[in-house]
A = this chain, B = another copy of it.
Amino acid sequence: MEFRIANRDDVPAVLELLADDVITRERGFGDVPVEVEPGIWDAFEAIAADPNNELIVAVEDGVVVGTCQLTYLPGLSRGGSWRMQVEAVRIHSGLRGNGLGAQMMRWTIERARDRGCRMVQLTSDTKRTAAHRFYERLGFTASHVGMKLTL
C-alpha cells in the first residue's frame, strides 16, 4: 500500500469513497458514482494550494482504496504547539477489516510527528461505535464531545 498526496486525477475516486458510506448517504449524498461538481474542484484546488492542508490517498495496485484529509493547525495552547486534524477518513467498503485503515492511520500519525505536531485529533459520528474502538486501539482517547452546527 502506498500513501501519497492526491492529485486531480484521484478526485473522482476519492468522491466515490466519501459517498460509499451509510451515514454519509443519509446526509444527502446520492448513490455512487458521484459527479464532480465545480465546487468540488474549487475545494480540491484550495487544499492543494495550502501547505497546511493535505488530501491523502491510499493506493494499492494503482487503485485508490482509502483516503483522509489532514489539516495542520497552529495554536497558542501547549506552548504554541501544532495539532493535526483528520477529516473524511474512508476505506473502500469491500476492503474493510483487513487492517488497511490501521495502516493508513499509523502512517498519518507518523506524518503528524514528522510535522512536529503534539496532537492528532478527529471526530467520529456517535453511531460509528466500531470506529471508536478502532481509534482507541490506535491510542486515541474519546475525551471530547464533537459538536456540529449545520448552516
Binding site for B on A (CB under 8 A): 11, 14-15, 18, 24, 27-28, 37-44, 46-47, 50, 52-53, 55, 69, 71, 73-82, 85, 87-88, 109, 112-113, 117-126, 132, 135-136, 138-151
Contacts and interface: CB of A to CB of B under 8 A. Distances in A.
Contacts of A132: 145, 147
A22 to B, nearest CB: 15
Number of copies: 2
A59 to B, nearest CB: 17
A106 to B, nearest CB: 11
A95 to B, nearest CB: 20
Interface centre among A11, A18, A141, A145 (most CB of B within 10 A): A145
